[in-house]
Amino acid sequence: MSGVKIVTITVVALLYLLAIPEGFNLRLPGVPLRCRCPSKSRTYIAGAIGWLEINCPTSYCSDTEYIAHLNYTGARVCLDPNTKWFKQVLKQLRSMNRSR
């Protein structure tokens, strides 16, 4: 009998975990979720960008966030997507992706 109970509990637990929707955040109560970029830099740093992290809007942050990881220092800088130089960088990246 105890073996049947263990199997039943295991199956119920697995079904529960499968029912959690994608993107569901398991967070600590009382800890607010927020955007990773409270401020955005407008400074020209195109030559120093090692790679670019793009965070799509979520339930807790309505902005698309662009975070540059710098080549030499490894620092992360949140970029303002409305600057002219960054729009050109995005355009170049999109054209590179289309050519692949």
Task: Kindly report, residue by residue over 37-60, the tens digit of the pLDDT.
Answer: 989 999 998 888 899 999 999 888
More confident residue, 89 or 2: 89
Q: 18-22, 36-40, 81-85, 93-97 — which is least confidently predicted?
A: 18-22
Query: Binning pLDDT at 50, 70 and 90, where does residue 72 land?
Result: confident
The reported pTM is 0.63
Long-range CB contacts (within 8 A, 24+) of 31-37: 32/60, 33/58, 33/59, 33/60, 33/61, 34/60, 34/61, 35/60, 35/61, 35/63, 35/65, 36/61, 36/65, 36/67, 36/78, 37/63, 37/65, 37/67, 37/78
The domain 2-98 is classified under which CATH number: 2.30.110.10, 2.60.120.700, 2.40.128.120, 2.40.50.40?
A: 2.40.50.40
